[in-house]
A and B are shown apart, each in its own frame.
Chain A
Amino acid sequence: MIGWIDTIIQGVLLGGLYALFAIGLSLIFGVMRLVNLAHGDLIVLAAFVLLAVVASFGVDLVTALLIAAPIMFVAGFALQYVVLNHTLGRDILPPLLVTFGLSIIIQNGLLEAFSADSQRLAAGAIETASIQLGGGLAIGVMPLMTLLSAIAAIFALNALFYWLPLGRAFRATSDDPETAQLMGIDNRRIFAIAMGIAMVVTTVAALYLGIRANFDPSIGPARLIYAFEAVIIGGLGSLWGTLAGGIILGVAQTIGAHINPEWQILAGMWRFSSS
């Protein structure tokens, strides 16, 4: 019985990570109706940027996050402004193809720059720290922080969406791009800012991914699939739904793994297909 409770708790915490993966995807889709097939690779790219910052400046991970987040914001802004804005339109095929190509460019670029070696981000003692709940149950500090970060990110984004003028512009462009443009909103800039913000969330996700597990240039697509499943299970267009989707996916995976380790990912997929 304790084992099952433990499984579910771990699943919820794992769900926090998946929700962080998915928030960026959900945000991008919500604002500009763009499905970003390169999202998983952008997560991995962010993880490598963090790694490079740590390696070259010798700073700790929190500082590295503060340095990497603006870099990724600018990268996301530029990506959207220069490339992806041109692909948006009635037809869904161009953005799909371009982000798919982008996904492969990023994978190969990372492969050239960082080789195929598995990497990880070292966070020190906090990696293995845990909080005792009594009754033989314990939760890791890092997974808990992951979940809390996901919740904090959603609060921050919701605050941005509903309280700030920028958020109003986001919602307006999302609802009706033509009219928003008539009201003096520059859609291209708004889209680029949204992509930049999504990249900041992605960098946070990458931080936890890098601490939790090894990563190498080829794991991006699998992260994309988890993120996508979380978005779909949770329902489109709602960030809280995305969090719920991530948690459901995480719980399904850990329960599957509890029964048979080989079934972990399959169980998650089963949950997806029955949603």
Chain B
Amino acid sequence: MLALAQLWNLLAGYAGLVSVGQQAFVGLGGYMLFAFTVYGGIDPLLAIVLCGVVAFLFAFPTALVVFRLRGAYFAIGTWVVAEVYRLVFAQIRPLGGGTGTSLPGGVTNSVFGIDIVRTLFDFRTALARDLIMYWTALALVVLIDTRRLFHSAFAPRPGALGDPRLRSGRRKRGRRWLPHQAGWVYAVTAGGTGMVGALIYLQTARISPDAAFSVLDWTAYVIFIVVIGGIGTIEGPIVGVIIFYLLQTYLADFGTARAARRRGCRPNICAMSRMPTASPPPAATG
């Protein structure tokens, strides 16, 4: 979740590309992981990287479609594209079609390094697997973070790092990134999102089109996290994730697990709708 939040923050907070279609790449990564590991027999960890590459490559044709739209229409355009991805993957029978499919137990246990960890620390396979998942997730977060710093440092926009007001998504007209630069950010973000998606579905070991391309799980919650924490800042998503999970756990007492998950986002939205309401003065100056 943190990794997804960082990526969305990079996209919206830094490049000014407000996308509500990131679930396209989460789902793409997840499905590619299944394709690579089940049919290609590739080691899952290597497959995660390959998934990132595939998502990166798929981002270019996607960008050709959505970059013709501007601003808010870009946002819905990305959503439409994500729906297309969902429908296309629902058509692919070997990957389970509309009902989805599960990862065979052998695949999750064949992750590179499990044997080493097991013998090194004398752990059970399941524990060793969880450890490796955790390390990979951590590595992904770190990787994404450095990548973001790279992008900020080399951003063609002067003062991108200097003025926090400028970075907080309130970009001025005429200071927009050029299309090809935005395209690169978009593609890199897509690649990262694809890798995160692959990792998530390696852990879940079960995939279905509706879950993998869920706008609520992979985009809406992510946006809440970034916005609560502070868009366009590096620590924002981290703070946001903590608040989000605290709220979710705290409010889980109010009902069944599923309802609580849904309820969990309500105060967030309240907080969120207050945020822009409270900020017109800086917006007017920016």
A residues apposed to B, CB below 8 Å: 35, 37, 83, 86-87, 89-98, 100-102, 104-105, 108, 111, 221-222, 224-225, 228-229, 232, 262, 265-266, 269, 272-273
Contact = CB atoms under 8 A, between A and B. Distances in A.
Contacts of B238: none
B269 A101 contact: yes
Q: Does more than half of chain A's interface fall in helix, strand or loop, or is it mixed?
A: helix
Given A91-B170, A93-B12, A229 B276 contact: no
Contact of A91 (B87, B169, B262, B275): B169
B277 interface: yes
A104 B220 contact: yes
Interface stretch (B70-78, B189-197, B240-248): B70-78
3 cross-chain pairs, A with B, having the tightest CB-CB distances, nearest first? A94-B276, A35-B72, A101-B269
Contacts of A111: 262
B151 interface: no
A272 B87 CA distance: 14
Contacts of A92: 18, 71-72
Contacts of B223: 97, 100
Interface string B243-283: 00000000000000000001101101100110111011001
B91 A91 contact: no
Contact of A89 (B18, B90, B266, B280): B280
Contacts of B87: 265-266, 269
A225 B20 contact: no
Contact of B84 (A87, A262, A273): A273
Q: How large is the interface on B (under 10, 10 to 19, 20 to 34, 35 or more residues)?
A: 35 or more
Interface in B76-115: 76-77, 79-81, 83-84, 87-88, 90-91
A101 B273 CA distance: 8
Q: Does more than half of chain B's interface fall in helix, strand or loop, or is it mixed?
A: helix
A224 B276 CA distance: 23
B80 A229 contact: yes
B75 A96 contact: yes
19 contacts: A35-B75, A86-B276, A89-B280, A89-B284, A90-B283, A91-B170, A92-B72, A94-B275, A94-B283, A96-B18, A105-B269, A108-B263, A229-B80, A232-B77, A262-B90, A265-B87, A266-B87, A266-B91, A273-B80
Contacts of A89: 280, 283-284
Nearest to A109: B266
B273 A98 contact: yes
A225 B286 CA distance: 32
Contact of A225 (B12, B69, B76, B91): B76
B73 A83 contact: no
A108 B77 CA distance: 24
Contacts of A225: 76, 79-80, 83
B185 interface: no
B5 interface: no
A93 B18 contact: yes
A264 to B, nearest CB: 9
B255 to A, nearest CB: 9
A97 B273 CA distance: 8
Contacts of A90: 170, 173, 283, 286
Contacts of B83: 222, 225, 265, 269
A33 to B, nearest CB: 9
Contacts of B2: none
Nearest to A226: B80
Contacts of B276: 86-87, 93-95, 97-98
Contacts of A229: 80
Contacts of B20: 37, 96, 100
Nearest to B263: A108
A273 B280 contact: no
Nearest to B271: A101
A266 B18 contact: no
